[in-house]
């Protein structure tokens, strides 16, 4: 989500909004994919919202764990939180009546909306939630958190098809070229894929160390890679 001014709405008011929204929340989306929703949340929402299971810590918008913990504590289930999340994405409240400092409406739509809402419904406000841990070092963790739902990469047992197969794209590339693929993906677009398919903000959402760790992991593990 675009960076906007930090929200000052009291947490109590947000909880009240959740309570009022329950009536219109509906039931959970049965064909939604929370795992895909996690990757979309990190890309689309993580620049503004903190959520422990996503590993995001931004403070522009409400901390979703804090926002929904109270709802869970009074007995609202994941389906209810999913419905509330979907409603707020489609029709976000204006901050102090000013749409210019509010969350843009419909930042995700269609299946993406279903998946993000299902993810938030499943994990927001869950006590002790944390990102799923994977073997393979810090670069493997960055890949799992940000890339595995879209790309095929054998070393990570990832079979995403939204983006290119990295076992085919990475071999023979330099570290500088792989880094450019991550932070400026439109600089050179893989054949058969449209521009703007990959998020353009990884240089903002990932630290420089996370980018370097990811580059190292890809090069060392792609079939025939630079270090392989």
Can you give the CATH number for the domain in which 171 is found?
1.10.760.10
Rounded to two decimals, what is the model's pTM?
0.62
Do 165 and 217 have their domain in common?
yes
Q: Are residues 189 and 105 in the same domain?
A: no
The verdict on 118 and 142 lying in the same domain is no
Q: Which of 38, 24, 59 is nearest to 108 (CA)?
A: 38
Kindly tell me if the per-residue pLDDT of 103 is higher than 60: yes
Domain residues for the domain of 201 are 138-221
Angle, helix 208-221 to helix 175-183, in steps of 10 degrees: 120
pLDDT in tens, 166-181: 999 999 999 999 999 9
End of a domain among 98, 123, 148? 123
Instruction: For residue range 140-169, list pLDDT tens digits in order.
Output: 999 988 888 789 999 998 888 889 999 999
Is 110 a member of any domain? Answer: yes
pLDDT at 19: 46
Residue 134 CA to residue 17 CA, distance in Å, equals: 36
Strands (E), the chain: 50-51, 56-57, 152-153, 158-159
What are 66-101's pLDDT values in tens digits?
A: 999 999 999 999 999 999 999 999 999 776 555 555
């Amino acid at each position: 989500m675009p960076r906007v001014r930090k929200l000052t709405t009291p947490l109590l008011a947000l909880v009240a909004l959740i309570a009022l929204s329950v009536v219109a929340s509906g039931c959970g989306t049965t064909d939604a994919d929370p795992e895909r929703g996690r990757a979309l949340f990190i890309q689309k929402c993580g620049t503004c919202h903190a959520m422990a299971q996503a590993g995001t810590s931004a403070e522009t918008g409400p901390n979703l764990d804090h926002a929904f913990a109270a709802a869970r504590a009074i007995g609202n289930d994941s389906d209810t939180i999913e419905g509330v999340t979907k409603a707020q994405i489609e029709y976000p409240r204006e901050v102090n009546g000013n749409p210019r400092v509010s969350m843009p409406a419909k930042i995700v739509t269609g299946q993406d909306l279903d998946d993000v809402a299902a993810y938030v419904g499943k994990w927001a406000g869950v006590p002790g939630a944390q990102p799923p841990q994977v073997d393979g070092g810090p670069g493997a963790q960055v890949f799992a958190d940000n890339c595995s739902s879209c790309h095929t990469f054998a070393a990570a047992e990832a079979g995403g098809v939204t983006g290119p197969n990295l076992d085919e794209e990475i071999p023979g590339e330099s570290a500088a070229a792989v880094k450019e693929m991550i932070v400026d993906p439109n600089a050179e677009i893989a054949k058969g894929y449209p521009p703007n398919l990959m998020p353009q903000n990884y240089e903002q959402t990932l630290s420089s160390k996370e980018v370097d760790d990811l580059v190292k992991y890809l090069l060392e593990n792609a079939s025939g890679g630079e270090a392989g």
